[in-house]
Chain A
Amino acid sequence: MFLPRLSTDRFARKNAPTPDEAEAPFAVWAKLGGAERLTAVDARAEKAGLAPGMAVADARAMRPALRLAEADPRADAELLGRIADWCRRFTPLAAADPPNGLLLDISGAAHLFGGEAALLAEVERRLAAQGFAARGAIAPGPALALALARFSRRRHVAEGTTAEELEAIAAGLPIAALDLDPAARQRLDRAGLRSLGDLLARPRAPLTARLGAEAMARLDAIACRRREPISPRFEAPDFMAERRFPEGLTRQEDIERTLHSLARELCLLLERHGVGARELEAVFYRVDGAVAHIETGTSRPLRDPGTIALLLRERLAVLAEEGLDTGYGYDVLRLGAGRVERCDAPQADLGLAGRENAHDARLDDLVDRLGARLGPRRVLRAYPQASHIPELAVALRPASGSAPAAAEAAPPPYLREGVPARPLRLFERPEPIEAVALTPDGPPLRFRWRRLLHELAAYEGPERIAPQWWSAPEDAATRDYFYVEDREGGRFWLFREGLFGRESPSPRWFVHGLF
């Protein structure tokens, strides 16, 4: 698909012009190499003789009524991406071809819409209804299709066309289809080469030397001598279930119910292949073109429709909290398994091992469900690490991910029989306190934390923890940890940063944890 007026259409869609404005030509400009030039013009401006590349001042002089807006390439690219998303309602493989093209792989999908020509008409009609001028072409190769859409009247090249016929079609295209830089194009123009046919008929080696290998690769792609892959915006899922409705769904219960039945279909597919889903993706296509994505990962291969539906419901609930805008309703719902893993049918074993597995499976499901709602980065597991720095001794990683390689971690230290030397709770960042100590290396007599004065009643320490000299920054200081109990019975894990006189003239005190 070729969207020749993407930039101007974007503005026209955003703010509908008033009737007298609508009569005026419209163009988008940008600063190119220090000069203000038009980058895109709408149909009316084109008819009035304006063209991209023209200086803004000239254009104004020609058409005083010209309306202008500054170009925003990023917004254009975003819009193109969204249109590509929307196009996935026709086929799972859709890619954006910046700045203004779209590639749809319709092999195997066209018959659903009544043939290739009908599909093309449908896509064009729907894009036009949304305010985009679009011209499409169907061809066996993506590059040829794009070139036809841009530069040719020919709309349809059937699948079974022979190589000679394809070359003949390509030969009719202008040199511009190669997308060369202006200097090279001018050189070819001077040499009298106007169409691709002129190039195709010539020996390759001198052409390659002049134009570069890239241009020749493009030429080959257009002539379908070489197959070019489409790099889709989203990988098409391996397993997929889909439902289309004549009218959009607006009620959340309906959407949930549809998801549930889609999950059932998907699970049948998965079961037939003996796999389970590790990543799920649900896509909702709204009647007016908006596309909503829901993605969720699972911590074990899943093949149970109920669990899948429940997971998706959590994600949907999060969306709903932020305001799921059903608008005119969703008319296409699709559920896919993005990544799958082998998953054998569970054995109907009721032994003890089975029960333990059941516990683990339930915990995994719970982790997924919590992760779906809270975000996978908020559901964590603790992995001991080989480090004696307290905050590095445990790494918190997302629980749904695979476990990292087990580090050789020492057993936790004890002060003496039955008294752990590590607190139950650790602050993410040690909190500074004001402490009064009797001796420079002794425990504090009293300390003030969060404006509350704590008098020391019992203590044990110090436990000296030096920085890791092989990785710590220069100014890292030794810490002396004290296990401290105040008069009220509160238990704290304090440390003094820096050795008095040796590392720091006035060591600071922190509270790092609570028992």
Chain B
Amino acid sequence: MSRSGSSERIVFLRRRIAALEAGGAPAPVPASRDEGLSRLFDPGRGGLREALPARPTDAAAAAGFAFALALRRLRLRPQGGIVWIAEDMAARELGLPYGRGLQAAGLPPELLVLARTHRPRETLWAMEEALKSGAAVVIAESWADAGAYDLAASRRLALAARRGDCAGLLLLPRAAGAAQRLASAAEARFEIAAGAPPPRAEGAPRPLPGPLAFRLRVVKARGLVGAFDPQVWRDIVFDHQEAEFHEWPFHALPRRVPAAPVDRPVRAQKRTHAR
């Protein structure tokens, strides 16, 4: 076979594979940008998604994003709940999901099942089982490195998600900053950083923190070829009452200033007045 013949053949095979993976659906077409974002967060699509923090300090934000995505899926397609798989190492570094906080963010506590694992292997096994059962939206946070979470492992998870028609979100805090280099069979991969803090005017007191915001880069989105520039950061805000993401330039958010505490000790209050 000639050289050009073999490359043609590879292109042909790739198309066949893409068609097979899409379940016989027509080949994916490039989507426009706005449509892309809404389709990206479309809860109807199951599959495996990965959230990686941009820096190690963004791990909590990435977890928050994964939770927001799971909540959106759960709100629009009711299922048994959220199965949250937390590895011991991740729990040590980031803490455990907190029922009251999740409740405040819109998840009734009875819908949460928390599974704790010791090792990345256990985490991946538990995630595969949970995805296969199709009983719930699955969030897993694993301290796995590239050795434990490789192409084969991600392929297993992706197939399990498809079998169970289930959405799985895998959080890899240890792979901070490696989103562009990771090779996996995931449906989509997000690189997450914490949203920028509200700006502070010169001489003004410190503002109040805003709603939950993320900076997001779509590194990979299967089926949405060309819709996203993997180099571009976008600011998004999660509205947990509507369970919706909004792309929102940050300066448009309302700003407020914290009130002085009312029950301060008398001495401290006097000092404030004197100033």
Instruction: Spell out A's residues near B (CB within 8 Å).
Output: 356, 359-360, 362-363, 365-367, 369-370, 373-374, 378-384, 390, 393-394, 396, 399, 411-416, 418-428, 439-441, 443, 452, 456-462, 464, 483-491, 499-502, 513-515
Contact = CB atoms under 8 A, between A and B. Distances in A.
B97 to A, nearest CB: 6
B206 A456 contact: yes
A458 B116 contact: no
B44 interface: no
Contacts of B129: 366, 369-370
A413 B193 CA distance: 26
Contacts of B268: 439-441
Contacts of B105: 420, 424
A378 B117 contact: yes
Contact of A365 (B115, B135, B196, B264): B135
Nearest to A399: B113
A396 B99 CA distance: 9
B100 A460 contact: no
Contact of B104 (A414, A452, A462, A491): A414
> In this complex, which of A373, A419, A459, A485 has the most chain B Cβ atoms within 10 angstroms of its Cβ?
A485
Contacts of B114: 379-382, 396
Going nearest first, the 5 A-B pairs with the smallest beta carbon separation are A489-B194, A420-B104, A382-B99, A394-B99, A457-B197
20 contacts: A367-B113, A374-B116, A381-B114, A382-B99, A393-B100, A394-B99, A399-B113, A414-B104, A415-B208, A419-B210, A425-B96, A425-B97, A426-B101, A427-B95, A427-B96, A428-B96, A460-B209, A491-B61, A500-B265, A502-B265
Given A374-B122, A379-B114, A513 B95 contact: yes
B209 A458 contact: yes
B207 A458 contact: yes
Nearest to A362: B135
B109 A382 contact: yes
Contacts of B79: 359
A307 to B, nearest CB: 11
Given A420-B240, A491-B61, 17 more contacts: A362-B134, A374-B116, A380-B116, A381-B109, A381-B110, A382-B102, A396-B99, A411-B103, A412-B103, A422-B101, A428-B96, A457-B198, A458-B197, A458-B206, A459-B208, A464-B263, A489-B194
Interface of B: 55, 57-58, 60-61, 63-64, 67, 78-81, 83, 91, 94-105, 109-110, 112-117, 122, 125-126, 129-130, 133-136, 193-198, 200, 206-213, 215, 239-241, 256, 258, 261, 263-265, 267-268, 271-272
A425 B105 CA distance: 12
B126 A425 contact: no
Given A365-B133, A373-B125, A486-B197, A424 B98 contact: yes
Contact of A425 (B95, B193, B267): B95
B102 to A, nearest CB: 6
A424 B64 contact: yes
A370 B193 CA distance: 32
Contacts of A456: 206
Contacts of A422: 98, 100-101, 103-104
B265 A425 contact: no
Contact of A373 (B67, B126, B239, B267): B126
B193 to A, nearest CB: 7
Contacts of A413: 104
Given A414-B104, A457-B197, A489-B195, A366 B83 contact: yes
B81 to A, nearest CB: 6
Contacts of A488: 55, 57, 194, 197
A500 B99 CA distance: 31
Contacts of B67: 424
Nearest to B110: A381
Given A418-B211, A462-B261, A491 B117 contact: no
> In this complex, which of A362, A411, A425, A427 has the most chain B Cβ atoms within 10 angstroms of its Cβ?
A425
Nearest to B121: A321
Contacts of B110: 381
Nearest to A491: B209
B80 to A, nearest CB: 4
A490 B80 contact: no
B166 to A, nearest CB: 10
Contacts of A501: 265, 267
Contacts of B113: 363, 366-367, 379-381, 399
Contacts of A425: 60, 63, 94-98, 101
Nearest to A493: B101
Contacts of A396: 96, 99, 114
Contacts of B210: 419, 458, 485
A330 to B, nearest CB: 25
Nearest to A314: B129
Given A439-B268, A486-B197, A501-B265, A412 B208 contact: no
